Chain A
Amino acid sequence: AAGVIQSPRHLIKEKRETATLKCYPIPRHDTVYWYQQGPGQDPQFLISFYEKMQSDKGSIPDRFSAQQFSDYHSELNMSSLELGDSALYFCASSLGGRGTDYEQYFGPGTRLTVT
């Protein structure tokens, strides 16, 4: 079965640079969630989209922005990168949106290293 695709898998950037992470949800899934996972930590919710509209916002820095496109893929844009942004970034996709508890399936993640 098709899974969530994330690209790139690894990314190395310098401080103050910009990074763009991409997520391609499972076909027919209309909801995308972004999570950040630090070393030895649990995933922390950043932001989500349902039907191309932002549906929820968590602990996402103002330096980060995201959007979901007409084909349901999503991009997380990160600017003015800081050392503390080094982490694994996961995208998860699901069916449905508000008020519906559908399963969230995670992608393999993008490992961002800021030097």
Chain B
Amino acid sequence: GENVEQHPSTLSVQEGDSAVIKCTYSDSASNYFPWYKQELGKGPQLIIDIRSNVGEKKDQRIAVTLNKTAKHFSLHITETQPEDSAVYFCAASIKRGNNRLAFGKGNQVVVIP
């Protein structure tokens, strides 16, 4: 089955700096890769996603890049703010599983004011 790995597990950045989280996946059939932000006590919030026919996608301060050949994708957050502090999950959809999502283990991002 699909195996999604996420690095690093925790990341501390100074406010205003950039944060990068990297994920790798194993199933070459996967072609949809969403990123979720989860704050304490809340459900995962979809913040950006990318499909395999696109190499990069940007939405204001966040961007995602995808390298299908290497089977890895990354989340980039620029000009980080304290409200960006949360757990971020990458995921890959499993085509043979009716698009269920396989998640990475999550990354705790702490933005230091």
Q: Is B25 an interface residue (CB 8 A)?
A: no
Q: Is A62 an interface residue (CB 8 A)?
A: no
How many of chain B's residues have a CB under 8 angstroms from any CB in A? 24
1/0 per residue A87-98: CB within 8 Å of B?
000100010011
B99 cross-chain contacts in A, Cβ below 8 A: 94, 97-102, 104
Q: How far is the CB of B31 from chain A (nearest CB, A)?
A: 7
Q: How far is the CB of A76 from chain B (nearest CB, A)?
A: 15
Interface residues of B in 86-113 (CB under 8 A from A): 89, 93, 95, 97-106
1/0 per residue B54-98: CB within 8 Å of A?
000000000000000000000000000000000001000101011
Interface residues on A, range: 20 to 34
7 additional A-B residue pairs with CB within 8 Å, beyond A42-B103, A42-B104, A109-B43: A43-B101, A56-B97, A90-B44, A99-B99, A100-B99, A104-B34, A104-B46
Q: Which 9 A-B pairs have the closest CB atoms?
A: A101-B32, A42-B103, A56-B98, A106-B43, A55-B98, A45-B100, A106-B44, A108-B43, A109-B43
Q: Which residues of B does A touch, CB under 8 Å?
A: 31-32, 34, 36, 42-46, 49, 51, 89, 93, 95, 97-106
